């Protein structure tokens, strides 16, 4: 894919912003074209969370009770939607690190293009991928018997919270990918995704855990988004016995905003250092 050549350092601020967005869209198309060349990998990434749902919902669902009553599958699905947003972290980390290791990032730096386009283009492509992945999960949930019991506005708000969480995790992935020394370092970091995912309110009520472990799980960003989306979808949840449970929606907004506020500047600074 050809990269447009233009004077990014001249012109009005509005003109430079326009060129930066155009560059970012070019990088986005470049990433999407790579996915089109290996559709199997992308499709497996979309279907992997469905397999987790089938495993937990089918194998363990009958043995797990939901506080306050209700079916476990209805409890599980909003949590798995949130978990899917975390799984995308690995894709972002590996893509950013691979580009840097193969010299692709250096090639982009040699072109007269916006320095932010590489990162912004990656973010846009990953967000598009996450939208499709979330749609696949919602479709699978509907086919398996899950459903929401509120109005369309509440359902859209729940989807918005899920994508907000993904946007925050995306910047975490960009930072780790830029800071990592190579793909092998990212592979070791990927192992941490599973403890973070399971140590949350995605699969069970944190109140059923030992007190110290439940406190950690209750403050996990995944728990906040899972609890808030359960409420918005009208699905059974684990109640409001803790402060985080009583303010789930506030936490589901606050955690992503905090993560973006921390990791977006860190990503920008790390990228500038790479450019040096």
In a domain? residue 146: yes
Per the structure, the complete domain to which residue 219 belongs is given by: 13-275
pLDDT digits (tens, 9 = 90+) for 38-96: 888 788 888 888 888 888 877 776 667 676 667 888 889 999 999 999 987 877 888 78
In a domain? residue 1: no
In a domain? residue 3: no
**Could you tell me what percentage of the chain is helix, strand and coil, using 3-state DSSP and rounding each to the nearest 5?**
75, 0, 25
pLDDT at 253 over 90: yes
The per-residue pLDDT for 5 is: 47
pLDDT at 31 over 90: no
The per-residue pLDDT for 241 is: 66
The per-residue pLDDT for 138 is: 94
Most confident of 5-14, 46-55, 173-182: 46-55
pTM of the predicted model as reported, rounded to 2 decimal places: 0.86
The per-residue pLDDT for 229 is: 95
Residues whose CB is less than 8 angstroms from the CB of residue 251 and which lie 6 or more positions away in sequence, other chains included: 221, 224, 227, 228, 244
In a domain? residue 2: no
Within a 10 A sphere around the Cβ of 224, how many other Cβ atoms? 28
CA–CA separation, 126 and 115 (whole Å): 19
In a domain? residue 5: no
pLDDT: is 7 or 65 the higher one? Answer: 65
In a domain? residue 176: yes
In a domain? residue 226: yes
In a domain? residue 8: no
Of 36-40, 142-146, 200-204, minimum mean pLDDT range: 36-40
Please choose, from the candidates 117, 124, 111, 92, the residue with its C-alpha nearest in 3D space to the C-alpha of residue 271.
117
pLDDT digits (tens, 9 = 90+) for 65-79: 676 667 888 889 999
| Residue 223, token pair as written in the block | 């728990």
The stretch 139-162 carries a mean pLDDT of: 91
The per-residue pLDDT for 11 is: 57
Into how many domains does the chain fold? 1
In the 8-state DSSP scheme, what is residue 10? S
């Amino acid at each position: 894919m050809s990269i447009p050549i233009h004077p990014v350092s001249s012109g009005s601020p509005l003109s430079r912003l326009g060129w930066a967005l155009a560059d970012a869209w070019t990088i986005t198309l470049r990433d999407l074209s790579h996915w089109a060349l290996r559709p199997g990998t992308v499709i497996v990434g979309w279907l992997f969370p469905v397999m987790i749902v089938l495993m937990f919902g089918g194998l363990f669902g009958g043995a797990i009770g939901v506080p306050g009553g209700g079916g476990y599958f209805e409890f599980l699905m909003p949590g798995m939607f949130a978990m899917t947003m975390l799984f995308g972290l690995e894709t972002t980390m590996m893509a950013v690190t691979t580009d840097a290791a193969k010299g692709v990032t250096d090639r982009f730096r040699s072109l007269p293009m916006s320095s932010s386009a590489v990162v912004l283009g990656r973010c846009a492509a990953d967000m598009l991928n996450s939208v499709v992945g979330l749609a696949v999960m919602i479709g699978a949930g509907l086919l398996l018997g899950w459903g929401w019991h509120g109005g369309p506005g509440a359902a859209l708000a729940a989807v918005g919270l899920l994508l907000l969480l993904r946007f925050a995790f995306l910047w975490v992935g960009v930072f780790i990918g830029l800071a990592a020394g190579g793909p092998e370092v990212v592979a070791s970091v990927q192992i941490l995704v599973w403890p973070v995912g399971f140590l949350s309110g995605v699969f069970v009520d944190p109140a059923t855990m030992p007190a110290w472990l439940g406190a950690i799980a209750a403050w996990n960003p995944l728990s906040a988004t899972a609890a808030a989306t359960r409420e918005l979808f009208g699905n059974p949840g684990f109640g409001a016995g803790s402060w985080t449970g009583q303010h789930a929606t506030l936490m589901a907004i606050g955690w992503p905003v905090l993560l973006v506020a921390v990791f977006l500047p860190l990503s920008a600074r790390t990228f500038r250092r790479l450019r040096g």
